[in-house]
Structure formats: C-alpha cells, structure tokens
Amino acid sequence: MNLNRHDSASPAEYEAARPVARRRRPAGQPPLALIYGLLLAPAAFLITFNYIPALSSLYHAFTEWDIGGDSTWTGLANFRALAGDPVFHKSIVNVTKLGVFAFATHLTVPFIVAEMIFHLKSERWSYFCRVAVVLPMIVPGVVTFMLWNFMYSDAGILTELLMRLGLHDWVRGWLSDPKTALWAVAFVGFPFAGGFNILIYYAGLANIPGSVLEAAELDGLGALGRIVRMHIPLVLQQVKLLVVMTMIGVVNGFESIYILTMDGGPGYETTVPGLYMYLNGFSYQRMGLACAIGLLMLLFLLAFTVTLNRFMRTGDYEPET
Amino acid sequence: MSRFPYLETGQTAADRVLRTALRGAATVVFLILCCLPGLTLAGCEKNDGAASPEERAETANDVLRVDLNIYNPGTIPSGIGEPNQVSAELADAWHATRNGPRIRYQPLIQTGASEGEWLKTQLLGGVAPEIIHMNAEIAWPDVGKGWYVPLDPFLERPNPYVEGNKRWLDLFRNQALVNAKRAPDGQLYCIPLDIVETGIYYNKDLLAQAGITAFPETWREMEEVLGRFKAMNLIPMTSGGNLGSDWGQDIIFEMLYHDILPELDLAPSRPDAEGYLGHYLEPREAGFLFTKGFFSTRDPRWREMNRLLLEWRGYWARELKNSDPIRLFLTGRLATLWDGSWFIRRLATDPYVDFEWGVAYIPTITQETSPYASGTPATVIGGAAIQLHVTNSAVLNDNLEDCIDYLMYLTAPQNIERLASESLVYIPNIRGAEMDPRLEPFNEIFQRRYCSIKWLESFDGEYKKYWRRMLDYYLNGGVEVDEFLVMLENNFAEWVEAHRGEPGWDFGPLETAWKQKEADLVRELEPAR
Amino acid sequence: MASESVKKRGRQLAGALWRALLALILLLTFFPFAFMVMTSFKDTHQFYHSFWLPAWPVHLENYAGALTDMQAYIANSIFVTAVSISGILVFGAIAGFLFARYRFFGREIIYYGMISMMMIPGVLLLVPSFLWVKRLGLLDSYAVMILPYVSGGQILGIYLLRGFFSQIDNDLFEAAQVDGAGLLRQLWHVGLPLAKPVLGVVAIVSALGVWNQFLWPLVTTSSEDVMVLTVGMLRYNTRVVGQYGRMFAGYTISAIPLGILFLLATRVFMKGITAGALKA
C-alpha cells in the first residue's frame, strides 16, 4: 500500500487518485480461477484413480469382461451365476463364520486388555503396555502372515510344541486339513491383542470424566459392576467404530488367507468372497464376475452400516449426574 | 515466519518431536533420492535385454554366451556346498586347445514371468545366448520361427573329443529319450545332456529298527512297512509339496492300466522313442478316450487308482503342502522321502547327516492289492534335465561351428562326468560317463519305462487348477471318493469341451483307430447308466 | 477389622492375577516375533536341533545375505512411501485449506464427492482399477503405485485438514492477508505451522497404509526394479525355502524401517494409529 501521499491532498482527491477498484470479492477471497485451479489436481487424481474404476466396476458387474479389455453386456447373468454357484455360497458361509469369530474376539479381548491397562496404577506401566501392544504393528502385515504360515507348517511352532509334548496324534496339516483350515485362518493373530483396538478402547475409557468414575466408586459399585454398568455403555461409541472396522476387515480382508493358503484352502474351505473375487479376476480371468462379487460386497457393507447406525444410535453420551 | 511475530507459539513437546521426525524423514528421503539414480541404473543394467555397445562388439566371434543352468560356475545347486567351478575350468581348457572364442556363462535372469517368456523375448530380438537350456516341449511351438538350430546334421559327425567315436549321436546313452525330444517336425533341436529322476530315499537305520532288511518290492509289503513306521511314531513317507500326489497318480495309473495300454494308445508315438515314450497318451488321446467313457465314473480302474492313492496317502505326513520334508528326513522323524535326484547333493554335502541312507523306488502293485494290477514295475516319472539348444544368435554372430564344437567338448564322457559329479543333481546321459556312485541308483531306476501320461501336466489352465485343488481336498479327507470322481468327471468334460475343435485336437484319426479296438476296450468299462 | 483386611487382600490378589494375565497376553503376543528374531541368528542345523532355545555361534551372515536380497525392495518401498506421503500432504493441505476457508460454487458437492470415496474399500476396486491402469500403460512402474495412493490417501488428509483449518481463528489469516499474503502464502506461513500435529498424523497414517499395501503392488508390478517390500517378501520367501535363519533375518529386517519411524515419533505414531481408525 505505497501510495504517494501528498500532504496537501484532500480526502476527495485522495480517493480520486486511487486506481479504479475492481469488483470487490469478500474480504481476502482469492480469484476463483486460483481456487479451481488448485483443486484441479486433487480432483483429477480422484476422478482418474477412484471414480473411473468405481463406475467401471459398477458397469462391468453386468458384463462379461475378459483380460483383453473387451466386454459384452450380459445383464444379470453374473448375478444369476453367483446365485447358483456353490463356491460362492460356501465363501459366504466361510466369511460368516470368520466374521462371528472375529466379532467374538476382536471386540472383547481388546476391551479386556484395555480395561486391564486402564486399571494399572502406574502411569509409566500404562504407557509401557500401550506401546508394547502397538509394537507388533511395525512388522508389515504380510510378514506377520508369513510368520503365522511358518507357525502352522510342519516345521513350525505349533507342530513342534505338540511333538515335544508327545501328542503325536494331535498333529495335523493345520492349513491343509479341511477340518482345521478355517480355524487356523481365524486364529491368526492370537491372542488377538491387536494394538489398534486396544488403543481405541483405551481412548474411550480415558475420556470418561473423572467425576463420573468417582461417583461410581462412591456408589459402592465393585470393579466388575463399574465395568459392566458404566464403562461399557460409555465406550459404545468406540464399539460402534470397531464393529464397522471389523466388519470391513472381515469382508475385505483376504490378504491373510491369500498368504496362508494361496488359493482358498483345501477345496474351498477357506475361500471367502474377497478371495473368490480375486481368483475370478486374476486367476480365472472372469473379470465381470469379479466386479459383480465386488458390487455385492459393497452393497452388503452399505446395508450393514446403515442398519448399525439405526440400531446403535450413539451421540455424545451424556451420563446422567 | 518472522513476518508474523504474532504467530510465535510456544514450542510444545509435540512440536519438537514432530520437527525431529520430519527432519529425520526428510534426510532419509533425501538420501534415498540421491541413491535412486544409482539404483535404477543398476537395475537397468541387470535386466536390460539389449546388448550394450561393448557387448555387441565383443559378441561377434569373440565370445560364446552359454547358459548351462545348474552347471553354471558360481551356482550352488540345492543351496548347499561350494559353488560350481568345473564348468569354468572346462571353458578355459576348451579355449586353450583352440584359437576360438571365449566362453562366457550367462545365467538366465529370473524375472518372475512364466517359463520361457523372457528367453522368447531375447530370441525374438536375436540377443539370446548362443547356447541355452530350455525344456524341449516349450521350444517346440517356436521351431518354425528359426530361433533354434536343428542339430541332426551335426549329430552325424564324429565327436573329436571322444576317442573312437564315429557319430556324435551314438554318444547318448538313452536313445529313446533323445528321440522323444524331437520336435513334431521330426528334427532334434536340443542335446538332452542328462536325466533327472525320482526315487525313494530311505533311512536305513530306521528301516532296521522296524525290523526290515531290504526295501519292499511289492505294494502290499510297502504298506506293511509303512504301517510299522507309523506304529513307531515316525512319519512313514512324504514328498515335497504336492509332488507325491502328482507323481503318485501317474505311477499308479500306469500300473493299473498297463495291460490295456497298447490298445488305449490310439495314436502311437515315434517308434524310435518306444523305449521311453511307449504307449504315451497325449492330451488329445486322453480327451478322446474320455468321450468314450474312460477316465470317468464308468471306468473301474480310474476309481481304483484314486482309491489306492487315498489309501497310500494315509501313510504320508499329515501336512503335505506347507511342509519341509528335508528337515523331517534329516532329523530322523521321517522314514522315507520321495524326492528327486537333486536331493543326493544335499545328502552328500551336508556334514550333519548321521545315518545310513539308501535309494529305492515305488514297489510294484500286485494282484494282492488290486485285481487290475499288471505286476509290472512302476514306471519312471523323470526325464531329460538339461536340454541345450543352439539359438539363432549363433547364426547371427557366425559362431555356429564353435558352438557345436563346445557342445561336443561338453558331452565328452570325461567332461560330463566331472560336471555331474560336482553338482550331484542329475545323471549324465552319455555313454561311458562314470557317475558318482551315489547317483547310481537313479541310473538303474531310469532303465524303466516312462509313465504313460502325466495327468496334471496334460491338463491346462483352470481345469488343471481345479483338479489340483480337488485332489488335495480329496486326499485330505474333504470329500468321499464317489463325489470326488463326479467332480473329476465334470472337470474333465469341461476340459475336453474347451479344447474340442482346436488344431491338434483332431479326433478323426482317433475315431478310426477306435473302431478297430472298440469291442475289446468297451468291455473294460461299466455300462453307461 | 478382619473382614476389611481380607477384602483388601482379596482385592490385591485379584489385582495381581489380572496383571499376571495381562503379562501373559503380552507375552503370547510377542512370542512369535521373539522366536523370529532368535531363529534369525541360527543356521539350518542349529534350527533343526535347537528349536526352542538360542544357539551359539550366532550367524550374522544370515542378515548379510537377507539384506542383499532385500535392499532393493526396501529402497523401493521407502521411495514409494515418501513420494506418496508428499503428494498426500500437499493435496490434503491445499484442498483442506480451500474447503475450510473459502466459499465457492459447488464447494460442498465437490467436498462430499471426495469424501464419499473414503467409503469404498479399495479391495472392491481391485479388478477394474487394474484393467484401467493397464490400459493407461502404467503397469510395472513407480507411478502405478504412487498415483493411486496419493489419490486415495489425500481424502483423509482433506477431511482432517479441513476440520482443522476451519477451527482456526480467522483473525490469524486476516492478519496475514493484511500483510499482503495471498492464498498460498497464508497457507504456508500461517496454516501449515499450526497444522503440524495434524499433518504428522496424516503422514503417519498414510505411511502405514502405503507401506503395508500388498494386493495392489502384487497385481500391478512384476519386475524387480519397482517391486516393493510387501510383494518382494513373497519372492524372497520362495528363494530361501528351507533356510530358516535367512528367512527370519529377512522378516526381521522388514520390520526395521517402520521401527525407525516408530522410534522417532512414538507419540505421533500412537496418535496416528488411533486417528487412522477414525477414518472409517
């Protein structure tokens, strides 16, 4: 704002000397061109790498699509094929089993562990434990699965342990025996003290106002009572979050199965829809069918999230004082 | 920042940590970016298909590039022991005897692409090594492209490095195998240098503990021996990965179908390959026979084969795919191991092997075990190992005579036996080559006939994958034999349908041959329902 | 009184039991990794005969060998992650800033259009994305990994940074504006310094996500030049079959990069992990 100011200039002259003001935008608003220009790159990326594949997936679910890129419209043929496909049915059964198991363990064990850490008197120990549970996460997921693959192999920890204990008859091909394969996959990550979930629960517990905690103690609630009647309702927000995350993980996560069994286990015992989609797309070259499976998975997840939102209406929980 | 003094907020601990982290990360990124040009260049060099100017200048007449696969110098076969040296010594010795090119060994780069893909690119560009190893079957589809030099004219010459040799071709011990490697056009494009075979390694000490002195000769005896091992809490038998079921299927198949194989073989193979490929069923033959009812639920031998396989598997280790049978064998928990001749290397080189071992083969299925048994010995599943081809590069670089001479040098018995004895993985296919006595059992095994079909290799694509998957499922108790046979039948039918009408799948001549044998063969099947 | 002290003793005992249980759970969680590190120093013979206990002499050459095999993979992973994070931070900061500070036509539509992409898990887009990048000719390059990661990862950045920037007092920005700072200057001199914690969280969460990507690199890359750690580990695994020491040395090495990150920024790391969960 370096205007030459003539001492003798009057305000009116001053105004007249100023360059003509352009149409004023709201204070500090940069030119629209700049805004849109800056948004162009992110938006272009999103359109190229997210929207186009998403819409492509939606479209091709109704086609037969081969690796060369040609696709022919087949309407609901893919869905009809899936409706009658015993492998697909089996995969749904498998993912349901895995899901139930995941919900039973990945929601409860971390909560218990979070509670235990929460009840530690020493802040230093509490921090140490929290770091300790997070530490296994520095190993890439893939490597963890390969480690578990080793543990299930016949040179691995599980078989060796049984042999050491003399229980030769209990030894199985954990990942190749139809009776144990799915269980073996489910138990990866034992004892399920995954750092993620524990931290989330812990954050929830730590957010409970101290006054509420004191009030409960004064009311004479025992530890167990406190946990059941107070902590759990107050962490419902976190529970909801974890339920959604676990569901997404169960429905989409087949990396572990891929590394453990490569192809869906003995027969189709460890095939889940995600893996089946991958096999159809990249192994059997039936890409349209793969998109159809993907679409069904997405619809399921949407339905689940909507239902969950309806059932677990949690806003900020205001405890009654 | 100094322009806006009002923004000097207090430095919190988080700030400090973040700053350190960002600085650290920035340094790391910067360092990596600096190294990147170097890394990419290094990577480019390794995988560059095109020859650099220096290489091009070198190639013409000066250097012969050779890939001997497992015999290349510096390779450590089976990952144990000292790196190979003999091939380098041979190259130097050869170079010293004549005024010709030097040998440069150029191992094939593993790029993860399917077998032969990378080589085919190089062949297309005329930059492949002059001498390469490749499975003849993979090369056959491309012989018309002039990528490989037909070797018959050269094989008629005498080999100067072998005293008294009139014809190079006579040098190869298993002539049937050599002829089996001829391309469909009748010409031979490769030198089958050696043979790979499988055998049953057994722990003599454990065998003695079980009260057995000699490895069983019949199937029934074998089951009894395996049962004893099981009672001793040992793993009686296993093989690496899925190989047991893969190989086992083919061996049992042959022993059960042996009697009717001459009839079943509607399109006989070359007569001069008879000793090796006698009664070999090509995929289209198998497909045709299926349409007539064989290898289906109507075929009692087919059922028997799968039944026996399951029964046999009962004595194998519980875990087959995700297993380390070598460890089990070397620590004395596994009594017998069905593996290839390459395992000799490990057994011979590992200083910690502390037991006596021997090599045997699959016993014969006799009438005691099955009514369909022919009583003939189990057939061989192995075949040619290193198959050396001379490529178009030899022609382009005017090296052909030198290549042939080097091959003749290599195949001289005194030289090949050094190569083989150092690596201890394959059996030389050269007359007069003395092999390491530890390899001798495989030589004996290879006197047997070749199996009549390799089922899982004959199938392709998703049909092969499906069979493999369901076979594992069946063998692990996931499905009963009848249901399994139905699955196989459906899969087989789809496979045949997928190939019908393809060139090379002409059922016409097979139909004609069938007419003559129909009466006899139909008797072998159950009536259609 | 007697009952009081009994109760107290009982509670102490219960407390001790719970702590023991916690210790047990932590032990079980750590055991596989401890085994992995212990075995990484053994050679095959030691592995056969001394399975559960450490063995001497210690075989450091396992690490040397593993490192030679894996250094290319690690370098590639670091490169891809670093570039992706940069892109994510840049786009996230700029776009988040724009959405937070300015009103323009279509702002909410564009914003929700972007955020809604967060809802679609990447796995479902695997097949069509693959064919699409194949058509674009991007297969087997660094770009095929970096570009989609930036595209997907920026969403979290935009979300968190919009939230953050909209909470900052307007005064600060206006003061800068008075001093002549345009949009970008305001962002650079005012916004970013304040946003450091959020940027840190976004960086860590994105880094974790990108580093651990497995399926996408698996289907889109096959040459060793650009192969990242996750896929390279598969290759590596098949190369070292039967050589347990070497195999586990490789596994241990694979944990080092993230371990370094962890050491440098534990608090941000921990916060980042929790924040990543909020992404859902």
pLDDT tens-digit map of C182-230: 788 788 888 888 888 889 889 988 999 999 999 999 999 988 889 999 9
Please list every residue in chain A whose beta carbon sits closer than 8 Å to the beta carbon of residue C28.
Answer: 190-191, 193
Question: Does the distance separating the beta carbons of B79 and C243 come in below 8 Å?
Answer: yes
Q: So what's the ipTM on this one?
A: 0.89
pLDDT interval class at B269 (50, 70, 90): confident
B131: DSSP letter: E
Rounded distance between C-alpha atoms, residue C200 and residue B13, angstroms:
13
pLDDT > 60? residue A15: no
pLDDT tens-digit map of C140-169: 899 999 999 999 999 989 999 998 888 888
Rounded distance between C-alpha atoms, residue B381 and residue B451, angstroms:
6
pLDDT > 70? residue B54: no
Phi, psi of C137 (to 5 degrees): 75, 25
Please list every residue in chain C whose beta carbon sits closer than 8 Å to the beta carbon of residue A41.
Answer: 91
Length of chain A: 321
Rounded distance between C-alpha atoms, residue B310 and residue B470, angstroms:
13
* Interchain contact B323–A (C-beta under 8 A): yes
DSSP characters over B422-487: HH-SSEE-BTT----GGGHHHHHHTTSPBPS--HHHHS-HHHHHHHHHHHHHHHTTSS-HHHHHHH
**CB-based contacts of A154, cutoff 8 Å, min separation 6:** A171, A173, B317, B318, B319, B322, B323, B324, B328
Mean pLDDT (whole number) for A212-238: 76
Top residue of B2, B18, B40, B343 to mutate, by most chain C CBs within 10 Å, is B18
Helical pair B400-410 and B413-423, crossing angle rounded to 10 deg? 70
Mean pLDDT (whole number) for C50-77: 92
Question: Does the distance separating the beta carbons of A175 and B469 come in below 8 Å?
Answer: no
Question: Does the distance separating the beta carbons of A52 and C19 come in below 8 Å?
Answer: no
In whole angstroms, what separates CA B354 from the centre of its chain?
29
Mean pLDDT (whole number) for A245-274: 90
pLDDT interval class at C123 (50, 70, 90): confident
What pLDDT was estimated at residue C275? 66
Question: Does the distance separating the beta carbons of C278 and A116 come in below 8 Å?
Answer: no
Mean pLDDT (whole number) for C80-102: 92
Chains in touch with C (3+ beta-carbon pairs under 8 Å) read A, B
For chains A and B, CB pairs below 8 A equal: 69
| Residue B462, number of CB atoms within 10 A of its CB | 18
Higher pLDDT, residue B59 or A64: A64
Which of B 347-386 lie inside 8 A of A, CB atoms?
none
Residue in B closest to A156 by C-alpha:
B323
Rounded distance between C-alpha atoms, residue A297 and residue A66, angstroms:
21
What pLDDT was estimated at residue C11? 76
Chains in touch with B (3+ beta-carbon pairs under 8 Å) read A, C
**CB-based contacts of A307, cutoff 8 Å, min separation 6:** none
Please list every residue in chain C whose beta carbon sits closer than 8 Å to the beta carbon of residue A251.
Answer: 121
Question: Does the distance separating the beta carbons of C189 and B21 come in below 8 Å?
Answer: no
* Interchain contact B16–C (C-beta under 8 A): no
**Alpha helices per DSSP H over C55-191:** 61-101, 107-116, 126-136, 143-165, 170-178, 183-186
The chain-wide mean pLDDT, for chain B, equals 86
Question: Does the distance separating the beta carbons of B324 and A153 come in below 8 Å?
Answer: yes
Nearest to B320 among A168, A176, A284 (CB): A176
Mean pLDDT (whole number) for A38-54: 91
Rounded distance between C-alpha atoms, residue B30 and residue B24, angstroms:
10
pLDDT > 80? residue A98: yes
Question: Does the distance separating the beta carbons of B35 and C224 come in below 8 Å?
Answer: no
Nearest to C95 among A42, A51, A277 (CB): A42
**CB-based contacts of B408, cutoff 8 Å, min separation 6:** B159, B160, B161, B168
* Interchain contact B153–A (C-beta under 8 A): no
pLDDT > 50? residue B50: no
* Interchain contact B314–A (C-beta under 8 A): no
| Residue B213, number of CB atoms within 10 A of its CB | 7
pLDDT tens-digit map of A142-172: 999 999 999 999 899 999 999 889 888 888 8
In sequence order, what are the beta bridge partners of B339? B199
pLDDT interval class at B48 (50, 70, 90): very low
What is the percentage of chain B residues whose pLDDT exceeds 90?
A: 54
pLDDT tens-digit map of A74-92: 889 899 999 999 999 999 9
Q: What domains can you pick out in chain A, each with its CATH number? A: 97-311 (1.10.3720.10)
**CB-based contacts of B239, cutoff 8 Å, min separation 6:** B247, B316, B320, B325, B337, B338, B339
What pLDDT was estimated at residue B88? 94
The order of strands in the sheet holding B427-428 is B383-384, B194-196, B427-428
What pLDDT was estimated at residue B401? 93
pLDDT interval class at A11 (50, 70, 90): low
Question: Does the distance separating the beta carbons of C79 and B327 come in below 8 Å?
Answer: no
Structure-token pair, residue B474: 């069946």
Question: Does the distance separating the beta carbons of C262 and A45 come in below 8 Å?
Answer: no
Question: Does the distance separating the beta carbons of C127 and A291 come in below 8 Å?
Answer: yes
pLDDT > 80? residue C249: yes
Q: What domains can you pick out in chain B, each with its CATH number? A: 55-196+384-445 (3.40.190.10), 198-379+459-522 (3.40.190.10)
Higher pLDDT, residue A127 or B278: A127
pLDDT interval class at B36 (50, 70, 90): low
pLDDT interval class at A24 (50, 70, 90): very low
**Alpha helices per DSSP H over B48-164:** 53-62, 86-97, 117-125, 136-139, 152-155
DSSP 3-state of B340 = strand
Residue in A closest to C258 by C-alpha:
A138
Rounded distance between C-alpha atoms, residue A105 and residue A90, angstroms:
23
pTM assigned to the model? 0.85
Question: Does the distance separating the beta carbons of A269 and B319 come in below 8 Å?
Answer: no
Nearest to B478 among A155, A159, A266 (CB): A266
Q: How far off is chain A from B241, nearest CA to CA, in Å?
A: 11
pLDDT interval class at A283 (50, 70, 90): confident
Structure-token pair, residue B418: 């050094």
Chains in touch with A (3+ beta-carbon pairs under 8 Å) read B, C
What pLDDT was estimated at residue C181? 76
Which of B 186-245 lie inside 8 A of A, CB atoms?
233
Residue in A closest to B471 by C-alpha:
A267
pLDDT interval class at A314 (50, 70, 90): low
Question: Does the distance separating the beta carbons of B47 and C225 come in below 8 Å?
Answer: yes
What pLDDT was estimated at residue A8? 52
pLDDT tens-digit map of B447-503: 888 888 889 988 988 899 999 999 999 999 999 999 999 999 999 999 999 998 888
Nearest to C79 among B9, B36, B79 (CB): B36
Contacts 24+ apart (CB under 8 A), B4-8: B4/C175, B4/C176, B4/C179, B4/C189, B4/C190, B6/C172, B6/C175, B7/C172, B7/C189, B7/C190, B7/C193, B7/C194
